[in-house]
Amino acid sequence: MPRLRSIVLARPLRTGFLTTIGVLLAIAVGLAVSNLSTVFIYLLFAVFLALAIEPAVKWCSRRGISRPWAIVIVFVGVFVVLGAILGFAIPILVGQIALFATSVPTLIDDFSRSGLFHTLEGIFGPGLEGLLGDLQSFVADPANIAAIGGGALKVGVSVATGLSGAVIVIVLTLYFVASLPTIKSSMYRLAPARNRPRLSDMTEQITDAIGGYTAGMVTLAFFNAVFTGILYFALGLPFPPLMMAAAFLLTLIPLVGSVLFWAIGSILAVFASPVDALIFAAAYLVYMQLEAYVLTPRVMNRAVSIPGSLVVIGALVGGTLLGLLGALIAVPVTASILLIIKQIWIPQQDARV
C-alpha cells in the first residue's frame, strides 16, 4: 500500500491520465451496451424460440426425415397455423377494439345508474360521481385516446418497428435452428474433454426443458382463453373475443399473468353487470385452482419442476429487466440455474470433507 501511494505521488499525471482513460472506457462500454440493448433482446428472443422449436424438429428427425427438411416442415407448419389464426382473429379483434372504444362511455353511464354505484357512493361520498364523470369525458374525447398512444405518427412508427423486429427475429430463429447442432458441438469443445459428456447431457436437458415449457405455457394459455370465452359468452358480458385474446397473452406470464387477467376481466365485467362480474370472478378463481393443481402438473410434468416461490421471483426479476420477454424466459432460465447447481455445485460441495 505505501508503495502504491508513492507511485501515485511520483507520477500524478500518468496516474490521472490512466484513471481518466479507464473511466471513459467504462462509460463507452456502458453506452454501447445500452444502444445495443434492442439487438440483445432480438438475439435472446430468437435463441429462446429456436430452443422452443427444436423438440418439434427432433420429433420429425426421429421419424426418418432429414434435419433440413424437418426444419422446413416445422417452420411452414408454424407459419400456416399463425397465418390462419391471425387471418381469422385480426378482423374480429379490430372490430372488438373499435366497439370497445365506442362503448366505454355507455358502460360507464350504465354503471353510474346501478345499485352497486350508489352503494359505493354512499361509502366514498359524492366525489365518486364526479370522478366517474371525468373518466367518461376523458374516454369520450378521441384526442385523449390518441394522446395515450402517442399520436398516429408514433403508433405508425411503433408498428413499423415491431414488424421489422419480427422479421429480424424470424430470420435469426431460422439461423439458430439450422445451426444449433454446430453451435452445441463448438460449445462442447470449449470444455475439457473429460467434462464434455456431462456438459452435453446438461445442455440437452436444458434445451428439452425450454421446449417443453414453451409448449406447456402455450397450451395453458389456450385453455385460459377458451375458458374465458365460454364464461363471457355464457354470462353475456361484452367483448368476448377481445378478452379471449387478452387472456391468452397475459396468461403466458407464469403465475402472475392469471391473477392479472382475473383482475382485469372482473373489473371490466363490473361495468356491464355487477352480479355477472361476481360470477365471473368466482368461476375464474375456481379455474385458477384447477389449473394450478390439475392442468399445470399434467402439462408441465415433462418440462420444468421448480418451487412456486422461485417462479414468482424469476418472473418479477425477468419482467423488470426485459419486460414480457424476461417474464416468459424466467422459468426456463431459473430451471437451468437449478440444474447447474444440483449437478455441479452441490456435488463439488459434497466432495469436500
Cβ atoms 208, 58 nearer than 8 A: no
Residue 195 DSSP one-character state? G
Cβ atoms 329, 48 nearer than 8 A: yes
- Averaged in consecutive runs of 10 residues, what is the pLDDT profile of the chain (353 residues)? 51 67 76 70 80 82 85 84 70 67 67 65 60 58 52 54 76 84 82 80 77 78 89 85 84 79 85 84 90 74 60 68 68 74 76 72
C-alpha span between 345 and 116 (Å, rounded): 58
At 97, list the grid cell.
377494439
CA angle 230, 86, 153 (to 5 degrees): 115
User: Which residues are CB-contacts of 283 (< 8 A; sequence separation ≥ 6)?
Assistant: 231
* pTM for the model: 0.65
C-alpha span between 332 and 209 (Å, rounded): 7
Length of the chain as a residue count: 353
C-alpha span between 214 and 51 (Å, rounded): 9
Q: Which pLDDT score, from 0 to 100, does residue 227 have?
A: 92
The closest of 51, 303, 70 to 183, measured between CA atoms, is 51
Q: Which pLDDT score, from 0 to 100, does residue 237 have?
A: 82
C-alpha span between 200 and 113 (Å, rounded): 66
C-alpha span between 88 and 188 (Å, rounded): 45
